Homo-oligomer: A and B are copies of this chain.
Amino acid sequence: MSNSLPVLDPVRVVACCPPLSAQPLSAPQAEQIAPLLKALADPVRLRLMSLVASHTGGEVCVCDLTEAFDLTQPTISHHLKVLHDAGLVEREKRGVWVYYRPRTGSLAGLGTLIGCPPA
């Protein structure tokens, strides 16, 4: 059971759509985008995503992430899996440690879709 099937590529999913306020989203588009937002729509996962995305070096070790929360290790692992299954982060195992990186452009694409301030 590979848990790493690339369910959706958020970059591609989002790139196909103009901003929400430009024109009505089609039902199929909404069905593809909503899961990405759902993956972010949890305080813990939002902080995890922010920690991963803002970390200098472009990656974070899981061991550093678990320490940042008052939650059990399996719970953090679960949330990371949700972010990974949504295509928002990449995993790389090196030795005993696992490192997470933001998927390039996934957040930027979502930001553009939701709407950015006038250029």
Q: Which A residues lie at the B interface, using CB under 8 A?
A: 19-27, 30-31, 33-35, 37-38, 40-44, 46-47, 49-51, 53-54, 68, 102, 105, 107-108, 110-119
Contact = CB atoms under 8 A, between A and B. Distances in A.
Contact of A34 (B24, B43, B51): B43
Contacts of A114: 40, 107, 110-111, 114
User: Helix, strand, loop or mixed for chain A's interface?
Assistant: helix
Nearest to A109: B117
B46 A25 contact: yes
Nearest to A60: B24
A27 B51 contact: no
Contact of A53 (B20, B41, B46, B50): B20
A30 B46 contact: yes
